[in-house]
Amino acid sequence: MTNKVNRFKSILLFFIFLFTALSVSAYENIENDGKASADSTQEPKKEGFNAGKLVMNHIADSHEWHIFGSEENPVSIPLPIIIYNKVNGWSLFLSSNFEHGKAAYKGYTYVEGKIHSEDGSGFYDFSITKNVLSLLISLTIILLVFITVAKAYDRNKNKAPKGWLGAVELIIIFVRDDIAKAAIGEKHYARFMPFLLTIFFFIWVNNLLGLIPIFPGGANVTGNIAVPIVLAVFTLVITLASSNKNYWRHIFAMPGVPIFVLPIISLLEFVGIFLKPFVLIVRLFANILAGHIVLLVFFCLIFVAGQASTGAGLGASVPAVAFTIFINCLELLVGFLQAFVFTFLSAIYFGMAIAEPEHH
């Protein structure tokens, strides 16, 4: 099911980019023809809608949280800027002091989503960016949910949970029975449950928040490659720390393999230790990032067509909104599947690390 969804998204993304490129190219040709026939003293036309810039601004991290408005007059939530410079020390202020990149402040400028020092000196940026704030929001949600569930169980011992508590229990049981026990086994699964539950809910909640177009949603957290890298590194570290001698024997002295083939197989198995986390990174990062891009491209088609004429914009709005809603619903499924796949593959790696010796 996951492969079919990924294949469908890849094909759909290709045709969306093709249609957008053709639309932009056609509109630029119309503009160029008009400019050629116009008087040379005529003032240059105002720059039109830039779909690529809008998409990149959304999927990239930022030091302010854009709410609505144009690029010239945006309405956004300023975020804390925390900078350490060896010469000037610590600097703490809000990103609103940059006036959306139009002004410098305390020797720093803000250009295309990045902070630069005016004198070119190096500095350390510890700022609370959009993705960092979204991470804090998602962690707060997860903590509130699990603390509430734990307190409810303490108050009502030996009683079935009611309402949304029952739904949370159902998901926890799903992770325990269909992921942890299935991949690790009855004997050792319990010690890995805290980590597996944490990454499942962390990925799922952030995927859902990323689909909400208004604050506190809309951030591209799991589509930012830094987050999957950290999660995959944790999986790798736990795998290696939990591994037993049977795991390493399978890598460097695989039973039943001829001695002249063993060095090649051992090298491949050793490389595979680090390829497995890489697969986790690419799968989560690429799927979530592609989902955000597809949604934004469909939305941008309205404005791309609207540059040619008002009628074209109105005509493109109906199918564009319909496809956006459809893809958004599909992303709800993809968000859950990616949380499941990342957690399940991690559990498989843990199960391989603590494998018991085979008995024949």
Q: Are residues 115 and 235 in the same domain?
A: no
Q: Which two tokens stand for residue 337?
A: 């599947």
C-alpha 150: how far from its chain's center?
29
Residues 149 and 112 in one domain: no
Domain final residue pick, 99, 125, 151: 125
Distances from the Cα of 79 to the Cα of 76, 88, 97, 179, 192, angstroms: 9, 21, 10, 38, 36
Phi-psi region of 158 (alpha: psi -120 to 50; beta: other; left: phi over 0): left
* CB 22, CB 14: distance < 8 Å: no
Could you tell me the two tokens for 245? 């001698």
Asked if the structure places residue 340 within a domain, the reply is yes
Same domain, 234 and 284: yes
3-state secondary structure string across the chain: CHHHHHHHHHHHHHHHHHHHHHHHHHHHHHHHHHHHHCCCCCCCCCCCCCHHHHHHHHHCCCCEEEEEECCCCEEEEECEEEEEECCCEEEEEEHHHHCCCCCCECCEEEECCEEEECCCCCCEECCCCHHHHHHHHHHHHHHHHHHHHHHHHHHCCCCCCCCHHHHHHHHHHHHHHHHHHHHHCCCCHHHHHHHHHHHHHHHHHHHHHHHCCCCCCCCCCCCCCHHHHHHHHHHHHHHHHHCCHHHHHHHHCCCCCCCCCHHHHHHHHHHHHHHHHHHHHHHHHHHHHHHHHHHHHHHHHHHHHHHHCHHHHHHHHHHHHHHHHHHHHHHHHHHHHHHHHHHHHHHHHHHHHCCCCCCC
Distance of CA 148 to the CA centre of its chain: 27
One domain for residues 203 and 318: yes
Same-domain check for residues 111 and 213: no
- CA distance linking residue 327 with residue 256, whole number of Å: 49
Q: Does 305 lie in the same domain as 157?
A: yes
Residues 242 and 96 in one domain: no
Which residue range(s) make up the domain with 268?
130-353
Residues in the chain: 360
How far, CA to CA in Å, does 60 sit from each of 56, 278, 299? 6, 21, 17
Q: Give me the average pLDDT of each 10-residue run along the chain (360 residues).
A: 50 43 37 40 55 76 80 80 87 86 85 84 89 93 90 79 84 93 91 94 94 85 92 95 87 80 86 92 92 84 78 80 86 93 95 72
Let me know whether 119 and 257 are in one domain. Answer: no
In a domain, 4, yes or no: no
231 plus 105 within the same structural domain? no
The reply to whether 120 and 152 lie within a common domain is no
Domain count, the chain: 2
241 and 292 co-located in one domain:
yes
Q: Please check whether residue 180 lies inside any domain of the structure.
A: yes
Closest CA to 275 of 345, 225, 337: 345
Q: Is 268 among the domain residues?
A: yes
* Tokens linked to 90: 């610590």
Both structure tokens of 70: 């144009």
Omega into 216 within 30° of 0, i.e. cis?
Answer: yes
Question: For residue 101, what are the contacts with CB-CB under 8 A and spacing of at least 6?
Answer: 109, 110, 111, 112
pLDDT at position 31:
40
In a domain, 283, yes or no: yes
Residue 163: inside a domain: yes
Would residue 140 count as lying in a domain? yes
Place of tokens 């925390």: 82
13/94 Cα distance (integer angstroms)? 37
> Do 226 and 343 belong together in one domain?
yes
Q: Is residue 20 part of a domain?
A: no
